[in-house]
Amino acid sequence: MITSFRLIVALAVFLAPLLLSAQTARLSISLPDSSHRISRHIYGHFAEHLGRCIYGGFYVGEGNDTIPNTDGVRNDIIDALQELQIPNLRWPGGCFADTYQWKDGIGPKDERPEIVNRWWGGVTEDNSFGTHDFLNLCERLGAEPYLAANVGSGTVADLTDWVQYVNYQVKSPMSDLRIENGRAEPWNVKYWGVGNEMWGCGGNMIPEYYANLYRQYATFMTDWTNSDRLYRIASGANVADYHWTEVMMRDIPHNLLEGVALHSYSFVEWNDKGSASDFDEAQYFSTMQTALRMEELVEKHSAIMDKYDPARRVGLIVDEWGGWYQVEPGTNPGFLYQQNTMRDAMIAATTLNIFNNHSERVRMANLAQTVNVLQAVILTNGKDMILTPTYWIMHLYKAHQDADYLPIELDNLTYGFADEELPAISASASRDSTGTVHVTLANIALSETHTVSLAIDGVDLSRATGTILTSDRVQDHNTFDHPERIVPAAFTGMEDGDGGLQLTIPPFSAVVIEIPGS
């Protein structure tokens, strides 16, 4: 009997570490002597002329007496985006960009022609929000403008005139026109998309044709003195079209190319996207599968780019990403208005961690879209405005902007559904200019609370504090009646463990841990 008891005790002592390991994810972070930075531009946004993103979203008109605004742009939106420290804003599309004639949106507003937005709802727009409105908005936000140029239906001359209009200090026909329209100093726009989705709404082109067209447009965008001021971004692949990236990197001289784009959305099924807020676990799992596929996409597109650009001078620009579902009942199908739940928070948290961990190649990304469209950070209804769970993820993660990347090693757990599995924990880390370390983690499991053992050599973890975004149901979301149902709160699931911190993270929750520098 005593022998049996001793055997049981011995087995328990032997098995205890294995059982703990099976139930605990282990996250180790190293502090290298030197590291690249996580570009703040990974935390960019996207504002297309689509639904109520611009008109009825950002822009309510200069004559609006009921909604406080500056030159027609809502003050509450400006304040909210300034709080996010958004680094860049992409405009005017999207598909809209490749039918947009920029000269229709300058000059006296009562003289501007009306247009039909053929891509999104067939609505008529009056061009009252144009180049000056957008670039002045970016100045107020402290964000770099990212202009998407019309290559699909425009001309080389149209684009070169636009560059001249917004960037030239010296006397020229377009700088004179800008001054005539009330702006003396140029805006010095750096980021330019040379077309959008050229494989689709930009013209249904094959990559070899578009690569030659890109070379032509990119050549005439600059003169011989200002080429180093422009960051030209080629229209990139649709999800896993690796041949497209191959052709862009192979056929475009790298002195004409600063970035190659990539577009990928998260959804249940492309032809049956499901509800934004009324979904089951099967739909949640499927959506997270497509979101986490971003890791594979970034790795494989980066490998192709590495072959042609081993020094990684050309950036991978993921300038459209986010969740895409059916529109809210009773709304215009062409307006892409959808609610934003804790599922979207998980998409944002895991995707941003992926970008951070691949930030040697990923230089910019743009969440689609900023206001009232797809995975928006802001929703408006008349004079009311709410901040979505995705907004709060971007708020938690903003500490990574321009911070030094810290390599991680993650011994992960799994989240299973039916006969499939996904990694349950997502994480990334950085150290800012003050020496403060930030670690962002997400537990995507729908019902399991998971423990993460965090170890960072050379860092006093006893000074760590945390913030969490969580809720009772993954379908929970903020509404105009309950705008603060989901907001960040202090994270209390943290205690000293063996050689580090033990973090207890509830299901479908995101956490940021902050450890001050010495």
pLDDT tens digits, 171-195: 999 999 999 999 999 999 999 999 9
2 vs 477 pLDDT, higher one: 477
Rounded Cα distance between 199 and 143, Å, is: 29
Is residue 249 within 8 A of residue 304, CB to CB? The reply is yes
pLDDT, position 498: 73
Confidence of residue 33 (pLDDT cuts 50, 70, 90): confident
pLDDT, position 34: 78
Q: Give me the mean pLDDT over the 48-72 stretch.
A: 96
- Strand pairing of 315-323 and 362-368? parallel
Please state, as a whole number, how many other Cβ atoms lie within 10 Å of the Cβ of residue 408. Answer: 18
DSSP 8-state class, residue 373: S
pLDDT, position 226: 57
Rounded Cα distance between 433 and 436, Å, is: 7
State the chain's mean pLDDT as an integer. 94
Q: Give me the mean pLDDT over the 316-334 stretch.
A: 97
pLDDT, position 367: 98
Where are the chain's structural domains?
24-34+406-515, 40-402
Q: Which two tokens stand for residue 369?
A: 């879209």
**Does residue 477 carry a pLDDT above 50?**
yes
82 upstream amide cis, omega within 30 of 0: no
pLDDT, position 228: 61
Straight-line distance from the first to the last Cα atom of the chain, in angstroms, rounded to the nearest whole number: 55
Percent of the chain with pLDDT over 90: 90
Query: Locate tokens 């598909």: which residue?
Result: 95
CATH number of 40-402: 3.20.20.80
Note if the pTM is more than 0.85: yes
Question: Rounded to whole angstroms, what are the CA distances from 450 to 87, 354, 412, 442, 453?
Answer: 33, 20, 10, 10, 10
Q: Give me the mean pLDDT over the 76-104 stretch.
A: 97
Is residue 301 within 8 A of residue 316, CB to CB? The reply is yes
Question: Rounded to whole angstroms, what are the CA distances from 112 to 51, 136, 154, 163?
Answer: 20, 19, 18, 20
Q: Give me the mean pLDDT over the 461-488 stretch.
A: 97
Is residue 175 within 8 A of residue 223, CB to CB? The reply is no
Q: Where in the sequence numbering do the catalytic residues fall?
A: 197, 320
**C-alpha closest to that of 437 among 515, 320, 340:** 515
Q: Give me the mean pLDDT over the 221-237 stretch.
A: 81
pLDDT digits (tens, 9 = 90+) for 210-223: 999 999 999 999 86
User: What fold does the segment set 24-34+406-515 form as a domain?
Assistant: Immunoglobulin-like (2.60.40)
Alpha carbon 438 to chain centroid, angstroms: 19
**Does residue 327 carry a pLDDT above 60?**
yes
